[in-house]
Amino acid sequence: MINDIPFNMTYTIGNDLREKPKDRASFEQGISYLTTHLTKEKTTIGQLKVHSLLGVLYRIVEQLEASMIHLQIAKAGLQTIIEGDKLQIVNSIRIAQTLQYQQKYEQAEQIYNTLEPLILQEKAYKKLLDFVYQHKAKNYFEWGKYEQSLSEIKRAIALRQLKGNEELLASSTFALKKIQEARR
């Protein structure tokens, strides 16, 4: 879906462990493009996926109110369509990330703590556990809870090593380095 956007939607991870658009103007054009194409999605589930993605993209450009609006639309719709589906978990992680950006660290933590046992119960969701650990670590990092952050990022790294996804592993390794630097 994001690959279909004819604008530069790439980003880097900053020293604060937040995503930063490589080309902010192009990134924002991509958000506008996706917003205008939202109604062209033929299925309800397709529209909800776009809302969830818009929530992520708005968070990256720190338009947090718009981020939360789209994520809440996706959450409400997903709950009525596919109770307990993987997409609800992904969307919940995204909501927790936006809460973190709003400095609502305890609320984000509650979401991650709720998601972990849900994921562990269902084999089909286990591929999402490293994302919970990674983003929980980033939440603790911003919160200044470096020991908890370190513990969670190590859990993410262990799972990502098993996955063998070098891009995800590099992201976690970078986060580990920044967490260790912050602890000094």
The CATH architecture assigned to 1-102 reads Alpha Horseshoe (1.25)
Could you give phi then psi for residue 52, rounded to 5 degrees? -65, -45
Side chain identity at 37, as an amino acid letter? H
Q: Residue 133: is its pLDDT beyond 90? A: yes
- The pLDDT value given to residue 83: 56
For the chain, the distance separating the N- and C-terminal CA atoms, rounded to the nearest angstrom, is 41
pLDDT at 94: 98
pLDDT over threshold 70, residue 149? yes
Q: Which two tokens stand for residue 121?
A: 């119960």
Please report, for the chain, the start and end positions of each structural domain, with discontinuous segments joined by +: 1-102, 126-184
pLDDT tier, 41 (very low <50, low <70, confident <90, very high otherwise): confident
**Tokens 């902010």 belong to which residue?**
24
Q: Is the Cα torsion angle 113, 118, 121, 124 positive or negative in sign?
A: negative
- Could you tell me where the DSSP H helices lie in 37-104? 44-60, 64-81, 86-101
pLDDT in tens, 77-132: 998 886 558 899 999 999 999 999 999 999 999 999 999 999 999 888 999 999 99
- Compute the distance between CA of residue 1 and CA of residue 36 in angstroms, rounded to an integer: 14
pLDDT at 82: 63
Segment 50-75, tens digit of pLDDT = 999 999 999 999 999 999 999 999 99
DSSP H or E run through 21: strand 19-21
